[in-house]
A = this chain, B = another copy of it.
């Protein structure tokens, strides 16, 4: 089986030979720093180096890969001010943003 390194709807990804959209998104977001990048960019456009600084330990190699993948997926784009969320990226952020509040209560419950 041959999986594309760029998760694309309609093409096989890990978890779905038919490329079900939700599985494509899980594959895309389930890569290191992908959600963190989207989370951060909601604060406004950011340069490559600023993103690197935000994602404390990300290597430029990995950051560059995530940027390309998320750009290909039309979730982020390059602007004169740096990388920024697209309209679709903002939509996605709005969907995952409730996780922030939930995570805090979750953290309290599971921490001894």
Contacts and interface: CB of A to CB of B under 8 A. Distances in A.
Contacts of A33: 14-15, 30
Interface string A22-47: 11111001111111100100000000
A111 B102 CA distance: 32
Contact of A26 (B35, B88, B107): B35
Interface string A69-102: 0000110000000000000100110011011101
Given A30-B31, A30-B34, A56-B14, A22 B100 contact: yes
A16 to B, nearest CB: 7
Q: Which 5 A-B pairs have the closest CB atoms?
A: A9-B107, A21-B103, A21-B107, A26-B35, A25-B103
A22 B98 CA distance: 10
Contacts of A100: 21-22
A19 B26 CA distance: 23
A91 B102 contact: yes
